Structure 1
Amino acid sequence: MINAAPAWLAIVSRSAAALLGGYLFTYAVTAFLARVLPLPASDAVIVSTLPAFAFYTGMILWAFASRDALQAWAPLVLAAPLAMVAFWPVAGAA
């Protein structure tokens, strides 16, 4: 018989995934979109920031709708490559 973790630990993990993980995911997606949108820099930042509220809300819903606490943290796997593209240094940029 497998000893399951206490229920409060799963709730704390899902809450952290929703709040902290959702923020990190939203930040990575917003920065990625601001970098890759074919618009002037100021317009790209504004356009990429607009859906941030929807991304964050979606991450909160994902964290509490997922089957287990590990699956609630899964979107952070996608956030890592997005953040790498978003913050990769550009040659010749000052």
Structure 2
Amino acid sequence: MKARKQRTVSGAYRLGILSRVLAASLGGYALTALLSSVLALALPHVAGVSRANSVLTASLLSFVIYTVIALWVFCARTALRAWLGMMGLAAIAGVLLWCLRGGA
């Protein structure tokens, strides 16, 4: 019998996976909370629905948003690109949230 050659995984690859897991779990949670807040505040102005219905809709859509973010993080070419994309979207959502809360 021939002995099988054992494959090794580099440390950089493992750090990339760890970074993606952290981006999907922690970053995805924070971005989902931010986007849900923007959605809950924007729906009464855009769609003319009540505040209670907009909060309910934003809460239900948050499950879809989180899933899409987690999938996107692992589909991104690099972990850095995933983090930068999430930070860019968070910055845009943060400005929108600030404006919707009367900051502007």
Q: Which amino acid aligns with 1:10?
A: G
Higher percent of residues as helix? 2
Within a 5 Å distance, the mapping from 1:76-87 to structure 2 comes to 76-87=87-98
Query: What residue number does 1:18 align with?
Result: 24
Provide the C-alpha distance between the structure 1 equivalents of 2:63 and 2:78, rounded to a whole number of angstroms.
24
Long gaps (5+) in structure 2: 1-10
Query: What residue number does 1:52 align with?
Result: 62
- Kindly report structure 1 stretches of 4+ aligned residues shifted beyond 4 Å: none
3-state DSSP of counterpart to 2:102: coil
1:27 to 16, 27, 33: 33
Are 1:31 and 1:83, in contact at CA under 8 Å, matched by a contact in 2? no
Which structure's CA Rg is the greater one? 2
Query: How much is the aligned-residue C-alpha RMSD, in angstroms?
Result: 2.0
Provide the C-alpha distance between the structure 1 equivalents of 2:97 and 2:53, rounded to a whole number of angstroms.
16
1:7 to 1, 13, 25: 13
TM-score (norm: length of structure 2): 0.73
Cα deviations by residue, 1:45-86 (Å, 9 ceiling, x for unpaired): 001111111111111111111100111111231122213332
Count of matched residue pairs = 88
3-state DSSP of counterpart to 1:51: helix
TM-score (norm: length of structure 1): 0.80
Long gaps (5+) in structure 1: none
